[in-house]
Amino acid sequence: MAWALALGGVTGLQSNPIYHDGLLYIPLDNKVHAIDARTGRRVWKFEHELPEDWGHWQFNDFLTNKHRSVAIYQDKIYFLSNDNVLHALHYKTGESIFARKIREYPRTYESSDDAGGYLTTVGPLVIPGQVLLPMNASDMGGKPGFVDSVDPETGDLLWSANMIPGPGEPGYDSWPGNSRDYGGAGPWITGSWDPELKMYYTGTANAYPYTPHSERQGRGGGDYENVGAAAVVAVDTETGKVAWRYTVVPGDPYDYDTMQVPLVLTIDGRKTVVQPNKTGFISYLDAKTGEFLKATPFFGPYHLGVGLHQ
């Protein structure tokens, strides 16, 4: 063993380090550590304090201080703190270049009439000219999920892609009443991007509330499919518009969110999105159109073939 370093975290380390120019970058406890890869010496540490009215929802304490990754672009390290602030740090010094609040965070009940908000554990994804930021509130009051794109130099918002269909989009009527306004379906994985199609792919979280016996009237409690929840969603990153949504578990009554990174592969000459998920099947979808191609079981005999097109 060349070296070992204790970061002194209060939670478990969930991220893989990113390496650049002799340094390892590791996020933990709303901090970023830059470590000399050869010696194990800490070169710099950036610390972010959560606000005083940070809420304590059912999952807040479990998720707080957890992070999955950082991203790097040119001379900047990009880090999303739990309260949805995007920090751009100089990769050599840790100096803050900018910090931009992206969305509201969960607050204490005493400080807000609507205490729900977005809580970020995911890492950003950098593509040419953009930083992509998955935004999830599915377990913190159910605000609908988005993928936000910001300018890598300023943090200015470029576009927001809604995971739950809006008016005029296919699947809009799969949410009864105003249930889509607090329907969850937030992405909490970094996702993947195809440079040829200019398409971003992500899985989405459960619908909110969990139970289908609610205003969303999901399967088992009603007949609505709740399109966009427990789904694979593709976003055209040139326009910020959703290209297609494939709902893996229609009306999800099981919390079978599809939080596995979609892989983009060429199979028999066709760009294909491949995603194993909680149903016990691997879904194969046309990467451009979202057309269902096939699903094959990878776990058995106990798998749940719900929502599969025949």
- The Cα–Cα gap between 5 and 23 comes to 14
- The Cα–Cα gap between 138 and 183 comes to 7
Domain residue spans in the chain? 50-259
pTM: 0.93
Query: Could you give the C-alpha distances from 82 to 72, 104, 277, in angstroms and in order?
Result: 18, 11, 26
pLDDT at residue 300 in the model: 66
- The Cα–Cα gap between 267 and 282 comes to 14
Q: How many CA atoms lie within 13 A of 176 on its CB side?
A: 14
Superfamily of domain 50-259: Quinoprotein alcohol dehydrogenase-like superfamily (2.140.10.10)
Determine contact, residues 216/179, Cβ cutoff 8 Å.
Answer: yes
pLDDT at residue 58 in the model: 62
pLDDT at residue 9 in the model: 84
pLDDT at residue 193 in the model: 98
Q: How many CA atoms lie within 13 A of 30 on its CB side?
A: 15
Determine contact, residues 49/83, Cβ cutoff 8 Å.
Answer: no
10-residue averages of pLDDT along the chain (310 residues):
89 90 97 97 97 78 89 97 97 98 88 82 96 93 94 98 97 92 93 98 90 76 89 98 96 88 97 94 96 88 54
pLDDT at residue 55 in the model: 83
pLDDT at residue 62 in the model: 82
User: Whose CA is closest to 221, among 192, 250, 178?
Assistant: 250
